[in-house]
Chain A
Amino acid sequence: MKSITFLPKLILIILLATCILLLALSPPALAQEPDYDRVNAIAEQLNCPTCAGINLADCRTQTCAQWKDQISEFVTEGQSDQQILDYFATRFGEQVLQEPPKRGFTLSLWILPVIAFLVGGLWLIYTLRRWSSQQPAPVPIRLAGEGRAATSTNSHGPSDYYLEQVNKDLGTDEI
């Protein structure tokens, strides 16, 4: 009877001991294998330092391989993505970042396109409105021989000259 009550306790103790053992062993085992998806994701945010226009993840040079190893080490150590990116920017300069930081002079790289888009849009709207509001005002045109006034556009400036020219060319300039 005594052994029957003792058995569940023994099983419980063994289970607890196993859990403790697993917990004790797991962290080092996990720490030795970085998350390569994360390493690649970080590498995609960095430029190859020695070749133009290629990000670190796609680069096959020795330098890039070294940098990716360095990222793996940092990931293994438990550093955050931002900490790793900050390290590379501090160590090698901000030009290694795919995206320029949103501060200082490089902030203008983020703001200027938006400003240019807004200004361009406003300018386009203004120009289109101005052009559409410049509907020709009716102007009487008297054609020789017909003795009547017709309506046409533009009563001032160059248009008068052109009208005269048209009338001359048509031989109808005698009113």
Chain B
Amino acid sequence: MIEQIEQVLPQQQSATGRNVTIVAGTVFLLGLLTIFAIGLQKIESGELQGRPASNFTLPLFDQFEQDEITLNELQGQVVIINFWASWCVECFKEAALLEQAWRDYKDAGVMFIGVDYLDTEELALAYMADYDITYPSGPDMGSTISRDYAITGVPETFFIDKAGNIAHIKIGPIEKSELYDLLDTLLAEE
């Protein structure tokens, strides 16, 4: 009988200490899980619609007269930001259309900007030559612009209104009617 009691009592005594350990361990694990969950949270480009467009300065490829272009300096203009890459098959479908729209609307106060995403310069330049792209384009150094705009892939096109807000986001290649309608709508806004 005494032996049985001796076996039980030490466990009771240390139960409090173990409980503290278990609670501390659980809190630690929950903390790690919380940090992990916060890390997994990712904003998507669609959520940016209606918000002010994040400013950036894009270095331009050598063929352009300007060295770089800064979004904030284009306030009052409608700005189209197109993310593209030479390896992107879907981008081919809209490349000629975007260039045509740029030529049609540049005198009406619309600026097109091409942001080259995860691309090698040689192939990017070849792509631009193939489609005769003349609107300002350049490499997204450090992929910072793509990150700020939370793009989900390429092509993706952001329509910035005259007030500098993201008015519309197009994921995937855009059709002519949609592009021209949006440009007309944004230009008509005061």
Which residues of A does B touch, CB under 8 Å?
49-50, 61-63, 66-67, 69-70, 90-95, 127, 130-131, 134-136, 141, 143, 150-154, 158-159, 162-163, 166, 170
Contacts and interface: CB of A to CB of B under 8 A. Distances in A.
B118 interface: yes
A63 B87 contact: yes
Contacts of B55: none
B38 interface: no
A163 B13 CA distance: 13
A152 B6 contact: yes
Given A91-B141, A131-B14, 8 more contacts: A92-B143, A95-B143, A127-B17, A136-B9, A153-B10, A158-B12, A159-B13, A170-B1
Contacts of A143: 1-2
Given A131-B17, A153-B10, A154-B13, A93 B147 contact: yes
Contacts, number: 74
A127 B12 contact: no
Given A127-B21, A154-B12, A163 B143 contact: no
16 contacts: A62-B87, A63-B85, A66-B119, A66-B120, A66-B123, A70-B122, A94-B142, A130-B17, A135-B10, A136-B10, A143-B2, A152-B9, A153-B10, A153-B13, A158-B12, A159-B13
B5 interface: yes
B164 interface: no
A45 to B, nearest CB: 17
Contact of B9 (A95, A127, A131, A159): A159
A29 B85 CA distance: 33
A63 B9 CA distance: 67
Contacts of B2: 141, 143, 150-152
Contacts of A159: 9, 12-13
Interface residues of B, number: 27
B144 interface: yes
B8 A162 contact: yes
B136 interface: no
Contacts of B142: 90-94
A116 to B, nearest CB: 10
A143 B3 CA distance: 13
Nearest to A49: B118
Interface string B141-170: 111100100000100000000000000000
Contacts of B118: 49-50, 63, 92
B139 interface: yes
Q: Which 4 pairs, one residue from A and one from B, show the smallest C-beta to C-beta distance? A: A153-B9, A93-B143, A49-B118, A62-B87
Contacts of B10: 134-136, 153-154
A152 B182 CA distance: 86
B17 to A, nearest CB: 7
Interface in B1-40: 1-2, 5-6, 8-10, 12-14, 17, 21
Contact of B13 (A63, A127, A134, A150): A134
Given A93-B143, A136-B13, A159-B12, A67 B120 contact: yes
